[in-house]
Structure 1
């Protein structure tokens, strides 16, 4: 996922590949040479950064999440399992979720 994150010194947008950023790659501002990396300070909200990390991890293993249709609890599953006809069960209320054909 590619994002433009404003430089913390001059507000120039720095194009950042989120997946590479989370793997530790640094990105440099084209205007003032400020380095943006996972261990560098940033103005990205900590909660949003945490969500990006979780999203990136889940995409690597072809996992996705959906809310339970009964109670709203998040159900995580591998996409190939659902398309293969396997049913997912909610951990909170034991509701079953599957593709209907």
Structure 2
């Protein structure tokens, strides 16, 4: 399976105004805090992730279903190839 196919970006939204525009303060490539461009509220990285937890969980759930579906399809195709030519085993 191609792992690159399952990379996702989740847009984080401000819980106050719903904006997705943030200014980030970095220290050594780690985001310390975010400043909402819409309402001006400041969030720590953990607060922003916690506030968007439901959105993140939905993306994870969707991705899990897609991975499961693709894995089942890949296994079915592999078994079909392995038992090709056998007249006693059939796949639906």
TM-score, with length taken from structure 1:
0.36
TM-score, with length taken from structure 2:
0.38
Q: Which has the larger radius of gyration?
A: 2
Higher share in strand: 1
